[in-house]
A and B are shown apart, each in its own frame.
Chain A
């Protein structure tokens, strides 16, 4: 299906007490994207992505942050943009902490430890760009193994592509979520 290019941008409040209005507003905007709006499972994923990006903004963005949604031909792009702290991660295997711009070869896959038991595979695209890879299978070997953080993993599972880009020139963090059609 071909969509007429269109976008909107919303500032994320520091404290959100009304997720519903924000999510409803985003759902209204993509109402003509029938692949998402007319499909319960896809709508649920879209809502989860918005909710998790809002939570991520409240949790990690010390500065003003925005959500931008863009309807492009054959894809829907949702971006969370801020100028706060850069994303960083620890390599589970080497215990090295990595910050942007990265000093890792493009094409490398890294198992990032993002919290207690919270692991996620990252694909290094270049020194400013990583892709979050959704786990193929989730299995908890014991109750102690279950993480208490899931945000980025949930987003990665909901969409087709999820990446983080550090824009060095503007000192901007961009988390981009793509639904393809």
Chain B
């Protein structure tokens, strides 16, 4: 499974289980994120530890997911972003848009 989710109370912990997140997975991931935001005020924590490569289409899916979460007054956090992937967030200034944490615990503590 490319993506998995785990309910932790009101919060959903999503794990991306692929090392290369690109065009082939971006549409599926967008749908997956939408499915995780059926609750009102959804709170999502996305563990990106396994992702070594990410392209603009996948980051677009993350942005679409974030917009959807925010439209429902929810919150979304990204966790454990690898250095190469973080460079992509910095270039697009999305590092200023997303809440980014070094650990799942830290993210959960902040947005729970």
Q: Residues of A at under 8 Å CB distance from B?
A: 15-20, 23, 40-41, 44-45, 47-48, 51-52, 54-55, 58-59, 138-140, 143-144, 146-151, 153-154, 157-158
Is the Cβ of B93 less than 8 Å from the Cβ of A140?
yes
Classify the interface of chain B: helix, strand, loop or mixed.
helix
The interface bits of chain B over 56-100 (1 if a CB of A lies within 8 angstroms of the residue's CB, else 0) are 110111011011001000000000000110011001111001000
| A94 to B75 CA separation, bound complex (whole angstroms) | 38
Classify the interface of chain A: helix, strand, loop or mixed.
helix
User: Given known contacts A146-B63, A150-B92, A158-B91, is B56 in contact with A19 (CB within 8 Å)?
Assistant: no
- The 9 A-B pairs at the shortest CB distance, nearest first, are namely A148-B60, A44-B87, A150-B56, A138-B93, A151-B56, A55-B55, A19-B20, A157-B91, A51-B55
Is the Cβ of B23 less than 8 Å from the Cβ of A58?
yes
User: Given known contacts A140-B97, A143-B70, is B22 in contact with A51 (CB within 8 Å)?
Assistant: yes
| A54 to B93 CA separation, bound complex (whole angstroms) | 22
Is the Cβ of B52 less than 8 Å from the Cβ of A148?
no
Q: Which of B12-45 contact A (CB under 8 A)?
A: 19-20, 22-24
| A139 to B63 CA separation, bound complex (whole angstroms) | 15
Shortest Cβ distance from A149 into B: residue = B60
User: Given known contacts A144-B67, A149-B56, is B87 in contact with A55 (CB within 8 Å)?
Assistant: no
- A114: min CB distance to chain B, Å: 12
Is the Cβ of A44 less than 8 Å from the Cβ of B20?
no
Partner of B55, one of A20, A44, A52, A138: A52
Partner of B97, one of A15, A47, A146: A146
